[in-house]
């Protein structure tokens, strides 16, 4: 009985949850940034290590590193776009 009352109250107050949605969007965006930062730092670290092992291949490695970093960043920007949509709509 009391659970039903609680649920009714929650659905009545559902329109008041907009600030919570914005908080959720902000937290989600920062989690996405953490993922991107971890990915790109792994890419950078392995690129630097392999450039140190074989300096002749430095040009190739640098190009591949920038390419891979652009992909990882693209994925995190999907999350940012979704968060923007939630925060302003």
Partner 1 sequence: MKFWKKVISVSFLICMLFSTQNFVVAENKSDEEFKAGEVIIEHVLDSYDWHLFTWKGHHVGINLPIIVINEGRIYSFSTKRLHDSATYVTTDKKTGETITFAIPHEGQYKGKVVILGADGSQKRPLDISITKNVMALFISCTLIIVLFYLVMKAYQKRGEKAPKGLQSLIEWLIVYVRDDIARKAISEKCVDRYLPYLVTVFFFIFINNLLGLIPIFPFGANITGNIAVTAVLALFTFFITNLLGNKEYYKDIFNTPGVPWFLKFPLPLMPIIETVGCFTKPFVLAVRLFANITAGHIVVLGFISSIFIVAKISMAGGVGMSVFSLILAIFVDVIEILVAYIQAYVFTLLSALYFGMASKEHHH
Cα distance between residue 37 and residue 33, in whole Å: 6
CA 17-18-23 angle, to 5 degrees, is 95
Cβ proximity to partner 1: between 37 and 81 the closer is 81
39 and 71 in contact (C-beta within 8 Å)?
no
What's the closest the beta carbon of residue 76 comes to partner 1, in angstroms? 9
What's the closest the beta carbon of residue 81 comes to partner 1, in angstroms? 5
Cβ proximity to partner 1: between 38 and 75 the closer is 75
Cβ proximity to partner 1: between 80 and 86 the closer is 80
């Amino acid at each position: 009985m009391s659970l039903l009352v609680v649920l009714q109250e929650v659905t009545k107050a559902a329109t008041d949850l907009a600030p919570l949605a914005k908080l959720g969007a902000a937290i989600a965006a920062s989690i996405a940034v953490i993922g991107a930062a971890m990915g790109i730092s792994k890419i950078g670290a392995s690129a630097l290590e392999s450039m140190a092992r074989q300096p002749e291949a430095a040009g190739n490695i640098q190009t591949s590193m920038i390419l891979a970093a652009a992909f990882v960043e693209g994925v995190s920007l999907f999350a940012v776009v979704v968060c923007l949509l939630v925060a302003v709509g």
